[in-house]
Amino acid sequence: MEPITLAYIGIGLMIGLSGIGSAFGVTIGGNAAIGAMKKNPDAFGSYMILSALPGTQGLYGFAGYFVFANFGTALSPDITMLQAAAIFGAGLALGVVGLFSAIRQGQVGANGIAAIGAGYDVFGNTLILAVFPELYAIVAFASAFLINGAIQ
């Protein structure tokens, strides 16, 4: 296998897994919002914000491609096996973290949406708790950025 192939497999995993996680996360929140609107349709703005939060992990995966493609020249036909392995590892790490953090963030948001629908004022608290899974996606994205800098 050529080193560039390994690097692009890592890029594909990064984009694909984080996108899948975001799709699951926003669906979990969206399903909860539909149920909550039956009880309290006036809080749709809160439902929408909490449902959309898991979408950011997919954006981190997408932005990761630009980190490897634009900040430096490692992602080229002249790439070494060591550079390709680093890109593969960074892509896999960001993809897996994005996948699970988006799903878990969707679950936190869904619980908050259900509580808001039941009449509890928990939007702010839910938003704070939903940021915790996001933190790990940000750390994974920052790690991909740092790995790209280390292999230049």
Residue 82 sits in a domain of what CATH number? Answer: 1.20.120.610
Contacts of 101 (CB under 8 A, 6+ apart): 21, 57, 133, 134, 136, 137
pLDDT, one tens digit per residue, over 120-143 is 999 999 999 999 999 999 999 999
Q: How many domains does the chain have?
A: 1
With beta carbons less than 8 A apart as the criterion, state whether 110 and 29 touch.
Answer: yes
Q: Is 4 a residue whose pLDDT tops 90?
A: yes
Number of Cβ within a 10 Å radius of residue 19: 20
pTM over 0.75: yes
Residue numbers of the domain that contains 90: 3-151
